Amino acid sequence: MSIKERLSGNEAVAYAIKQINPDVMPAFPITPSTEIPQLVANYIANGQIDTEFIPVESEHSAMSAAIGASAAGARALTATSSCGMALMWELLYVAASNRLPIALALVNRALTGPININCDHSDSMGAKDAGWIQIYAENNQEVYDNFLQAFRISEHKDVMLPIMVCQDGFITSHALANIELVEDERVKAFVGEYQPENFLLNEQMPMAVGPYAVSNYYMESHRAQVEAMENAKQVILDVAAEFEKISGRKYGFFESYRLDDADYAVVIIGSAAGTTKDAVDELREEGIKAGLLKLRVFRPFPADEIAEALKGKKAVAILDRSETFSTQGGPLTSEVCAALYKRGVNVRAFSYIYGLGGRDYTVEDAKEVYYTVKKATESGEQLSEPVYIGLRSREDD
């Protein structure tokens, strides 16, 4: 029997960490993820878990300590947001290339500037090419469930990559909402113990971690990372199937919401998907065949599956919560369009930007996207892309 509770997204992640009882957690606080190390530190101080907590002096050190711990053979994790992740930058690549299955609880927050504490995806999307698996959540339930699955994916022998479990800062991290928790024993049995194949403290098999790689090796190292990322696809699905057995909740690369028979689809990541679902239902009542593809796994990118799901749609609107300044829209747009083009799926795709720096995204905003896309598709009209949702103009002020 699952446990019905009410927790914020940060509380949900901290609770998952408590249930997992990892070996080492170095962390440095930053809004809006501060509560995660704070709550874990409480669990440790109360004797509920025996995780080694390392209060470091910066995020650079947090990731460095996580790398050291993970290389030594420990199950390690940390939590951060925004500028905190930016300060980890070089170590993100070190963690991934050393094939260390560290988990990072990332609470998405805009990068400066201007300075802003609210949600967008510029922090994790900036790190999309660092070699980390990235999983996103719509709500507190999903971020909890994703965290329980994280180490099973990252520590799989065919994967051995670090994993970023993302949720929307404040929107889910600080919102109290209903949640169903999995019992401690079931979590313990599901997550299991970390049994690294190779680790620094193994005196039977001495090894080096992070040595210099000359040109003869660097490229092969990267190719191996790509193969691990490819392998992660099947592992993510297998772990999700197993998780469904203990939770009753189903996960895949993405969730299709009323998508099969839809004419117009929105592709989106995170909490805004929930808001868009309400819009889809209202549009369906108005006779518009709206559908939604909510992406859960951004790295590895499930290009085949996305192209297949969007095949035959009249049009697709891809909504990004971060800029690339390419003038072509955000990172999700680029990846989805590449997936469609490479597979010969000829669907008109519109590029949208929303929610930067915490700009609110409402049911009406979502409906407006569908109306606009439908009209432009029917009339052949060109939009000025990327379309910015809820952008103020001088006349508004």
Partner 1 sequence: MFAVCAKRTARRKIGLKNTVEIRWHGRGGQGAKTAALLLADVCFKNGKHIQGFPEYGPERMGAPITAYNRISDDELRVHSNIYDPDFVVVVDETLLEAIDVTAGLNPEGAIVINTTKSKEEIAKHLNGYAGKVYTLDARKISEDALGKYFPNSPMLAAIVAVSGVMDRDTFLSQMKESYQHKFAKKPEVIDGNMKALQVAFDEVKP
**Nearer to partner 1 (CB atom), residue 156 or residue 374:** 374
Query: What's the CA gap between 321 and 356, in Å, rounded?
Result: 6
Q: Report if residue 171 touches partner 1, rule: CB under 8 A.
A: yes
**Nearer to partner 1 (CB atom), residue 129 or residue 278:** 278
DSSP state for residue 359 in the 8-state scheme = -
- Residue reference for tokens 């392998």: 231
Query: What's the CA gap between 106 and 134, in Å, rounded?
Result: 10
Residue 172 · residue 137 · CB < 8 Å: yes
Q: Which range touches partner 1 (CB under 8 A), out of 88-96, 226-234, 261-269, 389-397?
A: 389-397
* CB neighbour list of residue 388: distance below 8 Å, 6 or more residues apart: 352, 353, 354
The footprint of partner 1 on residues 359-378 (CB under 8 A) is 360-364
| Residue 319 φ/ψ, nearest 5 degrees | -105, 115
Q: Report if residue 181 touches partner 1, rule: CB under 8 A.
A: no
* CB neighbour list of residue 215: distance below 8 Å, 6 or more residues apart: none
Per CB under 8 A, the list member of 3, 176, 189, 213 interacting with partner 1 is: 176
**Nearer to partner 1 (CB atom), residue 65 or residue 171:** 171
Per CB under 8 A, the list member of 6, 223, 250, 311 interacting with partner 1 is: 6
The footprint of partner 1 on residues 13-42 (CB under 8 A) is 32
Per CB under 8 A, the list member of 174, 249, 258, 284 interacting with partner 1 is: 174
Q: Which range touches partner 1 (CB under 8 A), out of 81-89, 311-319, 331-339, 353-361?
A: 353-361
Residue 108, SS3? strand
Q: Report if residue 275 touches partner 1, rule: CB under 8 A.
A: yes
Residue 62, SS3? helix
CB atoms within 10 A of CB 327: 9
- Residue reference for tokens 């790190």: 127
**Nearer to partner 1 (CB atom), residue 44 or residue 177:** 177
| Residue 229 φ/ψ, nearest 5 degrees | -65, -40
- Tell the smallest beta-carbon distance from residue 11 to partner 1 (Å): 11
Per CB under 8 A, the list member of 44, 117, 246, 303 interacting with partner 1 is: 117
- Tell the smallest beta-carbon distance from residue 120 to partner 1 (Å): 14
**Site size with partner 1, rule: CB under 8 A:** 32
Q: Report if residue 278 touches partner 1, rule: CB under 8 A.
A: yes
Query: What's the CA gap between 28 and 30, in Å, rounded?
Result: 7
Per CB under 8 A, the list member of 155, 168, 305, 323 interacting with partner 1 is: 168
**Nearer to partner 1 (CB atom), residue 278 or residue 378:** 278
Residue 77 exposed, middle or buried by CB count within 10 Å (0-12, 13-18, 19+): buried
Encoded amino acid at 107, one letter: V
**Nearer to partner 1 (CB atom), residue 6 or residue 223:** 6
Q: Which range touches partner 1 (CB under 8 A), out of 63-71, 176-184, 232-240, 334-342?
A: 176-184
Looking at the DSSP bridge assignments, the partners of residue 353 are 320, 388
The footprint of partner 1 on residues 215-274 (CB under 8 A) is 271-272, 274
Q: Report if residue 277 touches partner 1, rule: CB under 8 A.
A: yes
Encoded amino acid at 268, one letter: I
Burial profile 297-312: b = 16 or more Cβ within 10 angstroms, e = fewer = bbbbbbbebbbebbee
* CB neighbour list of residue 254: distance below 8 Å, 6 or more residues apart: 293, 294, 295, 296, 297, 302, 305, 306, 309
Query: What's the CA gap between 30 and 387, in Å, rounded?
Result: 31
- Tell the smallest beta-carbon distance from residue 13 to partner 1 (Å): 16
Q: Report if residue 3 touches partner 1, rule: CB under 8 A.
A: no
Residues near partner 1 (CB under 8 A) are 6, 32, 117-118, 138-139, 168, 170-172, 174-178, 271-272, 274-275, 277-278, 282, 358, 360-364, 390, 392, 396-397
